Chains A and B, each alone.
Chain A
């Protein structure tokens, strides 16, 4: 009996340990594979060509700038939509809505977050794009703007959910303290509750942005996929092509081991680095905020 128990203990501990380590192993393997497939690019294509403005892989033009700017424009647009809208919704749910409405709204928003992005893309093509074309009198509705709007919609549930949790965690006493000295509801939210939940709200924004950068399906469906360099503010009204959409669209028909194939992996590495930077920035901001409060509290 005794040895049987010990043996079970041993197996369970090892199993848990192994699954923990395997996560690290998988990340390392993915990174290795990406690197292995992407690094040949650096010898096959001169760096100057990668930084050119023309992406036309069939004729060996591998300029990545239009894809990079395409992703940036769409993500920036999505952020500008998702942040105010998401934080506004979170504040409404956490601070203003009565309890019963809160209990309906929160799960609804989270359900929205689980909507498959291809469904949203579908709505984008059928509803949003024609509407935008008519409204703004554009040659096509499949533009960066359509992508931004949809991506914003995709990022909103993430922002709302995380930011609402952060606001909800602010002690009720803070609010009562502010109310008791005659602050209005809005003054309390803006000057007390939001600053107190700052690190959580920042995390929410970063996660939302991360979600927007990495999103593929929707943008591929609605941004028009024209690899044109976005140079002006007006570029938001013209078709663009993002990095994710490029990989998804072209990976299927590229010859294994060709230059084009390696460049697509190179784009993957670039994406990986961008989201790494976003994540590291986010966690260092949060970490700093935490360290400060810990120092102050001790």
Chain B
């Protein structure tokens, strides 16, 4: 079943650059959908439409519809705060907030008004376990989060999204700054998480795309070139440009 349906979405930034051109795409529930392609293809722009983070940048025009559970989230009446809790996001560079480890995790819940200590502690442990970080930090939850290593910070960011119990998780090159071991841990977490969550991943390499994709969409200069089952698309691409990109002839 499709969790998100994108219908002829176009987006133009205020400086005139067109970032997305007439994209239509269905995102399957409880699976990893990979958006890949060379830089500047519109992958991040698309991700940032899905939680309306683009509202805060200089966007000129957005047209089309994005249906999440049948509701158009591009509708100006959409409550973006609720939306962003439902659609979590992890950025390319880990963004830990200037608090303790625990503070980072409970921040989202606290701003929602959750004050019960037991609920917060429960969310901290659950989300850290889901992000495969619990064993490494359980004894120092009150240390400043910036003291963690890059890989740990990134998993903390993942945990922070998970603490809000979202339905969809957006990951924008979450492993681009990480070593192979940390990358492996994040990918392993994703495999676990897709049983419960709808995951949309912009991978940092074609290899990662091939490793993790249940479904894959290839973007080139703002256009969706090809979309399909992950295995199928990486072994037997239909479009010549897709084939050239995944075999390393450009990009």
Point out the residues of chain A lying under 8 angstroms from B147, CB to CB: 296
Instruction: Contact check, A177 vs B84: say whether CB atoms are below 8 A apart.
Output: no
Q: Interface majority SS on B: helix, strand, loop or mixed?
A: helix
| Cβ-based interface call for A16 (8 A) | no
In the complex, which of the residues B51, B58, B81, B161 contacts A184, with contact meaning CB atoms closer than 8 Å? B81
The answer for the CA separation of A195 and B97 in the assembled complex, in Å, is: 10
Q: Which residue of A lies closest to B161 (CB)?
A: A181
B13 contacts the other chain (CB 8 A): no
A296 to B84, CA, bound (A): 30
User: Is there an interface contact between B56 and A178, defined as CB atoms closer than 8 Å?
Assistant: no
Q: Interface code B124-165, partner A: CB below 8 Å = 1, 0 otherwise?
A: 000000000000000000001011000000000100110010
Assembled-state Cα–Cα distance A296/B147 (Å)? 5
Tell me if B160 and A181 are in contact (CB < 8 A): yes
User: Is the CB–CB distance between A181 and B164 below 8 Å?
Assistant: yes
Neighbouring A residues of B160 by C-beta, 8 Å: 181
Q: A174-B98, A192-B98, A296-B144 known; A180 and B89 CB under 8 Å? A: yes
Count contacts on B: residues with CB < 8 A to the other chain: 27
* B49-63 interface bits toward A, Cβ cutoff 8 Å, 1 = contact, 0 = none: 001010010100000
Q: Does chain B have a CB within 8 A of A288?
A: no
B248 to chain A, nearest CB (A): 31
Interchain CA distance A258-B98 in the complex, whole Å: 58
* A50, CB-defined interface residue at 8 Å: no
B188 within 8 A of A: no
User: CB within 8 Å of B: which of A135-192?
Assistant: 171, 173-184, 187, 191-192
Given contacts A181-B161, A296-B147, contact A176 B111 (CB under 8 A): no
Assess whether A196 is interfacial by the CB under 8 Å rule. Answer: yes
B contact residues around A179 at 8 Å (CB): 53, 56, 84
A297, CB-defined interface residue at 8 Å: yes
User: 0/1 per residue, B93-127, Cβ < 8 Å to A?
Assistant: 10111100000000110011000000000000000
| Cβ contact within 8 Å between B97 and A177 | yes
- B-side contacts of A183, CB under 8 Å: 81, 107-108, 111
Cβ of B222 to closest chain A Cβ, rounded Å = 22
10 closest A-B pairs by CB: A177-B95, A181-B108, A182-B85, A180-B89, A182-B84, A173-B95, A187-B111, A183-B111, A296-B144, A196-B98
Q: Would you give 23 A-B contacts (Cβ < 8 Å), ordered by A?
A: A171-B95, A173-B91, A176-B91, A179-B53, A180-B91, A180-B161, A181-B111, A181-B160, A182-B81, A182-B84, A182-B85, A182-B108, A182-B111, A183-B81, A184-B81, A184-B111, A191-B107, A191-B111, A195-B98, A196-B98, A293-B146, A296-B147, A297-B146
Interface set of B (CB-CB < 8 Å, partner A): 51, 53, 56, 58, 81-82, 84-85, 88-89, 91, 93, 95-98, 107-108, 111-112, 144, 146-147, 157, 160-161, 164
Q: A residues touching B (Cβ–Cβ < 8 Å)?
A: 99, 171, 173-184, 187, 191-192, 195-196, 293, 296-297
